[in-house]
Amino acid sequence: MEFLLKQDPTIKKAHRIYTQFTEDSRLRELSLARQKRLRDEASRLDLALEQGIQQGISQGQYQAKCQTAQLMKQAAFEPEMIAKMTGLTLAEIEKM
């Protein structure tokens, strides 16, 4: 390491800055706070993505139930049977 520090001024400068940074408690606290903020933000984004996926799945399932109910209605099934088979309410079925 000493050899590199003596031979390369860029490495020497980087080492000096790193040493100053790690010895300064305020800078270290700022760095840790930044890292925590970035992890928290990543967690929020992951949660939002998961919620969005779940919402999309739910909407797709609801649309499939509505399509099934519409077909059953066209085939002259009773609304009570449609509700039982699809899980939709009678009010939802009547609106179709």
The per-residue pLDDT for range 68-93, each reduced to its tens digit, is 999 999 999 999 999 999 999 999 99
List all residues 6 or more positions away from 11 whose beta carbon is below 8 Å from its beta carbon.
Answer: 4, 5
Query: Quick one: tokens of 95?
Result: 């609106």
Vertex 61: Cα angle to 59 and 65 (nearest 5)? 115
The per-residue pLDDT for range 8-33, each reduced to its tens digit, is 888 888 888 888 877 888 888 888 99
Residue 8 has phi, psi (to 5 degrees) of -120, 115
Helix (H) or strand (E) holding 26: helix 25-74
pTM (whole model) above 0.85: no
